[in-house]
A and B are shown apart, each in its own frame.
Chain A
Amino acid sequence: MRSGKLLLTGAHRLAILVYVVFALFPLFWLLKVSVTPNDLLYSEGVRMWPSRTTFEHFQFVIAHSAFPTFFKNSLIVSGATAVVVTILASLSGYALSRFTFRAKYWIVALMLITQMFPLVMLVAPIFKMLSPLGLTNSLTGLVIVYSAFNVPFATFLMQSFFDGIPKDLEEAAMIDGATQFVAFRQIILPLTLPGIAATLGFVFTAAWSELLFALMLISGNDAATFPVGLLTFVSKFSVDFGQMMAAGVLALIPACLFFLLIQRYLVQGLTAGAVKG
């Protein structure tokens, strides 16, 4: 009985270990190649760690390539999108959480539909619409498009956070003479700070990862976001593996930072929002 239990525990830990290795191995390999000197890249192909490491790829990517521009562009686009979406979604999420009104059902339906249809359908018409407005090849255009794509999910997420806050709080404030908007801004919003942080993180990560619309809408290097820049780089100089992977490691940093910040809330928060919607 005792040894059976021990065996079971051992199998459990082993299975966990397999998952951890599977999850981390690709990222480990990315890191490994990014610090492998060029002359060892081919001779030590399958070794787990090169006999010599170097940061020359990182230095090259930061000092002599357009990647800092891509990085900056992605940071601007994702940051602006996250802020815009979080503001809009807290307003609309609050409306869905606190009011009963006639169009509510239709608003929810509209937002659900936008989650279901293939966004790739919109690639061509959005390009046609933005082009005469001068919003192709511009970061502003990307921010507008990404904001619209992320607002519905963020609204449901914020709604679930507002639902968790008792109504009595703003009712008390309103008896004291505050308007509902003042009560919302000064009492409810500060209480949903974890929710706001989670929403910012989600939207930032989503905008940071978006590929297809960035490829379609951006053509030059000046407004290229990280995915576009990296893919252009790959198709142009596909032999500089060390540099590409160094760039990849750099692209990973902001996403991982946000992930570590929000991962505590992930299991409770995300599913509360996602399943509810």
Chain B
Amino acid sequence: MMHQPIAKHRPPLRKRLADASEPYLYSAPALVLIVAVMLVPLVLGISYAFRDIQLLNPFSGGFIGLDHFRALGQDQAFFGALRNTLWWTGASVLLQFTFGLILALLLDKPFYGRGLVQALVFLPWAVPSFLAGLNWAWLFNPVIGPLPHWLYALGLLDAPHNILSDPNLAMWGPIVANVWWGIPFFAITLLAALQAIPRDLYEAAAIDGAGPVQRFLSITLPFLAPTIAITVLLRTVWISNFADLIVVMTNGGPADRTQIVASYIFTQAFKRLDFGYASAIALVLLVLLLVYSMLIVLLRQTMLNKG
């Protein structure tokens, strides 16, 4: 280091203690808050999964072992919610990513008015999720929204009715809203990664006679791959837990056909006030997400080893 103390004596104990504790003092307030409002409830929630906790029943609270999990094994609504979660997450991530990537590629080319266009197409990202949900619910409503009439005119619907109340189509409502809302996130992330690619690579490739498709495949994609992997993986976890749009647009209905695990947990806690059962489902969800994350880490390890 540049600034060695001139005299080589050890500083007094108080000074050394103060120096050692300094980073902890900076981070303590944030840590205390995180531990008190996130970690403690997490542990409490795990304990609730093994207890009978119902808000309106003063005699509840006792330990009941694995009863919740036995009930869960019989709960058809829960298995339906698991299937719906896969469908909801898979379709949302795939569509958001595809359209986000296309948008990022379009915005990567300079053109007149790019700043304005960028602000406009990223705007949905700033719309609060509850409002995005309501907004799309209204668009799908045949009384005031145009979408059912347009879908009917295109022959996609046999009558201009609300797809949100059609058990077979209802899931598309929240998915479309989610895609609208989530495209900007992917576009922003991918655009930043695109702009970090050195431009002279493209020029060199063009001089060597590589066409646009070839340039995309052998320069753009390899450079984007790490960003794509990270954002898709993180986004998958995030979207599988994202219940706002569903709670607002369909509340899980009709007949639980849009209920995902996260919204099912919320329904159990908020509507039935059965905190014990809600926590048991939440614990299962947590384990599933952990398994998913471990699989990803393992996959990455094997890929790295191969490379």
Q: How large is the interface on B (under 10, 10 to 19, 20 to 34, 35 or more residues)?
A: 35 or more
- Answer whether A128 and B36 are a contact pair too, CB < 8 Å, given A92-B26, A211-B244, A251-B131: no
Contacts A99-B23, A205-B126 given; does A274 touch B29 at CB 8 Å: no
CA A251 – CA B150 in complex, angstroms? 28
Q: Does A255 contact B (CB under 8 A)?
A: yes
Q: A88-B29, A266-B122 are in contact. Are A121 and B285 (CB under 8 A)?
A: yes
Contact A124 B45, beta carbon cutoff 8 Å: yes
**Are B138 and A271 in contact, CB atoms less than 8 angstroms apart?**
no
Flag whether A237 is at the interface (Cβ < 8 A).
no
Against A, the Cβ 8 Å flags (1 = close, 0 = not) of B34-67 are 1011111110110010000101000000000000
Min CB gap B156→A, angstroms: 16
* B289-304 interface (Cβ within 8 A of A): 289, 293
Minimal Cβ-Cβ distance residue in A for B268? A124
1/0 per residue, CB under 8 A from B, across A256-267: the answer is 101110010011
Structural contact, A118 and B282, CB atoms closer than 8 A? yes
CB <8 Å contact, A99 and B136: no
Residues of A within 8 A of B123 (CB): 23-24, 27, 256, 259
**Known contacts A241-B144, A266-B122: A215-B44 contact under CB 8 Å:** no
Instruction: Known contacts A23-B180, A95-B27; decide if A248 and B135 are in contact (CB<8 Å).
Output: yes
- Mostly, the B contact residues are helix
User: Is residue B91 contacting chain A, with contact meaning CB distance below 8 A?
Assistant: no
A223 at the interface (CB under 8 A from B): no
Interface-central residue, B29, B130, B145, B149, by most chain A CB under 10 Å: B130
Q: Mark B137-159, 1 if CB is under 8 A from A, else 0.
A: 01100011110011000000000
B115 shortest CB reach to chain A, Å: 8
- Complex partner residue of A104 from B23, B103, B124, B138, CB under 8 angstroms: B23
Complex CA gap A69/B143 in Å reads: 29
B243 to chain A, nearest CB (A): 6
Q: Does A161 contact B (CB under 8 A)?
A: no
The interface centre, meaning the residue of A94, A212, A226 with most chain B CB atoms within 10 A of its CB, is A212
Q: Are the CB atoms of B40 and A129 closer together than 8 Å? A: yes
Report the nearest A residue to B120, measured CB to CB. A20
CB closest residue in chain A, given B230:
A275
Partner of B131, one of A33, A171, A252, A270: A252
- Secondary structure of the A contact surface, majority rule: helix
Q: Which of the residues B3, B48, B121, B184 comes within 8 Å of A175, measured between beta carbons?
A: B3
Is A169 an interface residue when CB atoms closer than 8 A count as contact? no
Given contacts A29-B135, A129-B41, A175-B3, contact A45 B27 (CB under 8 A): no
Q: Would you give the shortest CB distance from A274 to chain B, in whole angstroms?
A: 7
Find chain B residues with CB under 8 A from A92 CB: 26-27, 29-31
A154 closest partner in B (C-beta):
B30
B24:A13 contact, CB within 8 angstroms: no
Which A residues from 82 to 125 make CB contacts under 8 A with B? Answer: 88-89, 91-92, 94-96, 98-99, 101, 103-104, 107, 110-111, 114, 116-125
Enumerate 22 A-B pairs (CB-CB under 8 Å) in ascending A order.
A12-B111, A16-B106, A16-B117, A16-B121, A23-B121, A26-B124, A33-B138, A89-B30, A107-B27, A107-B31, A110-B39, A120-B266, A123-B269, A125-B42, A129-B41, A205-B128, A209-B129, A216-B269, A227-B128, A248-B131, A275-B189, A275-B227
**Inter-chain pairs besides A89-B30, A123-B269, A151-B33, 6 sampled, C-beta below 8 Å:** A26-B135, A127-B55, A148-B33, A212-B244, A216-B266, A255-B126
